[in-house]
Structure 1
Amino acid sequence: MNAAHRPRKRFGQNFLHDPGSIERILAAIDPQPGQALVEIGPGRGALTWQLLERLGRLEVIELDRDLCARLDTERHAHPGELIIHSADALKTDFCGLEQPPPLRVVGNLPYNISTPLLFHLLGQAGCIRDMHFLLQKEVVERMAAAPGGRDYGRLSVMLQMLCEVEPLFTVGPGAFHPPPKVDSACVRLIPLPTPRYVIDPDTFADRTRLAFAHRRKTLRNNLKGELHTEQLEAAGIDPGRRAETLSLEEFARLSTLPSGAE
């Protein structure tokens, strides 16, 4: 057994250790033999070894080389095939991993990369069956938020257009070492076969980003230079509204409008 690995702040490491929380996460994932599953950030292996026992084969992506070496040493004590990728999940081609899609993706995600990683995975959703993540509770609330509230934003719109978002349960700071200063939550994401509405993905992403660029500003101001006020009105969208009040269907409508200059 290797000496205890000291959590590294620059990697945002908070290692899960609470047996009860681990069991709840495993029950939510319900891994079955033969399924293609990849774990992001296995850390000390709290979930890893139990996933491997149930699956027989598991791929993991770990940025910390010391943890990769630790996992490599310890895997000989566990049955099954563990494939270790010493890599940055933000730069990983998930569709090109060793196991054939559809993939199941799981992970206790570092808070500092959770949002960019979710967007990275959205771009590869076509080869993903589902995702189960431990995230900062505030992030999960934003992911599942409805229009009109302060939690509703670009992340909510992008995820809900392409996935079913299901918050599962909260995990307190004491389940981790070191304990974070905030609560965490487990969430399930299931990519949809097609987006909820007909969209051009690139235009939809770009218009959504612009609409939320300055939350206190109206659509008229945030989309100036991209769309005419008259275009918004013709599409049945009041230019004086803020992005946080728009439904998914209205964002889809925005993405169908031809670019114009104010």
Structure 2
Amino acid sequence: MVKQIPIASPVRTQAIVNRYFVRAKKNLGQNFLVDLNAVQGIAEAAGIQEGDQVIEIGPGIGSLTEQLLLYGGKVFAYEVDDSLPEILETELPQRIDGEPLSSRFKLVLKDVLKANFAEDLAGFFDLTKPVKVVANLPYYITTPIIFSLLESGLNFTSLTLMMQKEVADRLAAGPGNKDYGPLTIAVQTRMAVDLALNVGHASFMPQPKVDSAVVVLTPLKTPVDVGDPEKFNRLVKLCFAQRRKTLSNNLKTLVPDKAERESLLTNLKLDPRVRPEQLAISDYIALNQALNA
């Protein structure tokens, strides 16, 4: 039996594109990944091992899906493009480790933002065991998907996500970095962030104008206690609303009196003239507690 060229190779991807007359849809943010090293790097960053239950978001024509299966994963995929099921069912390996594809792979045509995981996964995954989420995310919807997964109640051990490098840098940033902001803080209070690998724009077909990166998000054993989450998030967004302004100026709407405002900050050992990106998450927690005391 002739060994099939991986879907992630440019030659195989082009053959699939020609055979099915498929084109990457701009409105869905589609770009086919044609770099086997990058695809295998994603599977390795996710730590995919035999028997892992893997949710994939946006499998496309199957370049990443194929490797997740070959690494030993059992894959449940969400896809919104109804032109792709035939390609996946035909082009993915029909048997993996002696098992038929149907026992290792299931595809549903559904927006993952509308997923009911308990209902969707029942009968295919063992819901008493955790899952791993792996995705090559469309740039335009990366942040909503991240927060949807964080709020879903899904029992996952990690999220391994490829996204625009600019967003990845924001997730991984620390205080004092220009990329540090509300998204950083919202994610880092709940997840450990590991920037696993960079993927250049030449690894895709068609090539996007920007580079990508793979980030692994792992739930913190003990989530950071921010107090009232709604008030905390509102405070952080307010402080970053005008990044070039000082912390004191950004807090005017909450504490109109300048002397009172600066006294509050001084008591917290915070310089009123500091910029919002210079504060650590612990500083924002302390500030939120003081404002709501």
- TM-score between the two structures when normalised by the length of structure 1: 0.87
- Equivalent of 1:83, from 78, 96, 106? 106
Q: More deviation in 190-199 or 76-85?
A: 76-85
Q: Comparing 195-204 with 81-90, which one deviates more in the overlay?
A: 195-204
Match of 2:211 in 1: 183
Instruction: State whether structure 2 residue 271 is matched by structure 1 residue 248.
Output: no
Q: Which residue of the other structure, out of 159, 164, 177, is the alignment partner of 1:149?
A: 177
* Change beyond 3 A, Cα 1:92–1:240: farther
Q: Deviations over 1:116-152 (max 9, x none)?
A: 2222222236622101111111211111111112111
Q: Name the SS for the 1:256 alignment partner.
A: helix
1:133-144 mapped onto 2 (5 Å cutoff): 133-144=161-172
Give the Cα–Cα distance (whole angstroms) in 1 for the partners of residues 119 and 182 of structure 2.
Answer: 28
Which residue in the other structure is 2:192 paired with?
164
Q: Which amino acid letter does the alignment assign opposite residue 92 of structure 1? A: A
Instruction: Name the CA shift for 1:235/1:68 in 2 (closer, same or farther; >3 Å).
Output: farther
Q: Which moved more, 1:64-73 or 1:208-217?
A: 64-73
The residue correspondences of 1:1-262 to structure 2 (distance < 5 A) are: 3-55=20-72, 57-72=74-89, 74=91, 77-78=94-95, 79=101, 80-94=103-117, 97-98=120-121, 99=125, 100=127, 102-124=130-152, 127-227=155-255, 229=261, 230-259=263-292
Secondary structure at 1:66 match in 2: coil
List per-residue Cα deviations over 1:205-230 (Å, max 9, x = no partner): 22222221222223333333335625
Q: What is the Cα-based RMSD across aligned positions, in Å?
A: 2.5
Larger mean Cα displacement after TM superposition, 177-186 or 27-36: 27-36
Whole-Å Cα distance in 2 between the matches of residues 180 and 38 of structure 1?
A: 25
Separation in 1, partners of 2:115, 2:242: 31
Moved more, 30-39 or 135-144: 30-39
Are the counterparts in 1 of residues 201 and 209 from structure 2 also a CA contact under 8 Å? yes
Which letter does structure 2 place at the counterpart of 1:244? E
The Cα offsets for residues 34-71 of structure 1, whole Å up to 9 and x where unpaired, read as 32210111111101122134445311111212224533
Q: Which amino acid aligns with 2:157?
A: R
Structure 1 residues 145, 48: CA separation in 2 closer, same or farther (over 3 Å shift)? same
Report which of the two structures shows the higher radius of gyration computed on alpha carbons: 2
Q: Secondary structure of 2:242's partner?
A: coil
Provide the secondary structure at the position in 1 that maps to 2:40.
Answer: helix
Out of 240-249 and 74-83, give the one that drifted further: 74-83
Q: Distance in 2 between matches of 1:157 and 1:198?
A: 10
Report if aligned partners of 1:227, 1:259 keep a CA contact under 8 Å in 2. Answer: no
Q: What amino acid sits opposite 1:256 in the alignment?
A: Q
What residue ranges of structure 1 are gaps of 5+ in the alignment?
none
Secondary structure of 2:189 counterpart: helix
Q: Which runs of 5+ in 2 are unaligned?
A: 1-15, 96-100
Is this contact kept in 1: 2:142–2:163, CA < 8 A?
A: yes
3-state SS of 2:83 partner:
helix
- In structure 2, the residue corresponding to 1:47 is in which secondary structure? helix
TM-score, L = length of structure 2: 0.79
Identical positions, percent:
39
Going from structure 1 to structure 2, the CA distance change for 1:95 and 1:256 (only over 3 Å counts) comes to farther
Deviation at 1:103, TM superposition (A): 2.2
Task: Say whether the 8 Å CA contact 1:125–1:191 is kept in structure 2.
Answer: no
Distance 1:233 1:63, change over 3 A: farther
1:241 deviates by: 2.5
Q: Matched residues in 2 for 1:114 and 1:141: separation?
A: 13
- Contact 1:95–1:127 (8 Å) recurs in 2: no
**In the superposition, relative to structure 1, how do residues 250 and 87 fare at CA in structure 2: closer, same or farther (>3 Å)?**
same
Q: 1:13 to 1:195 in 2, by over 3 A?
A: same
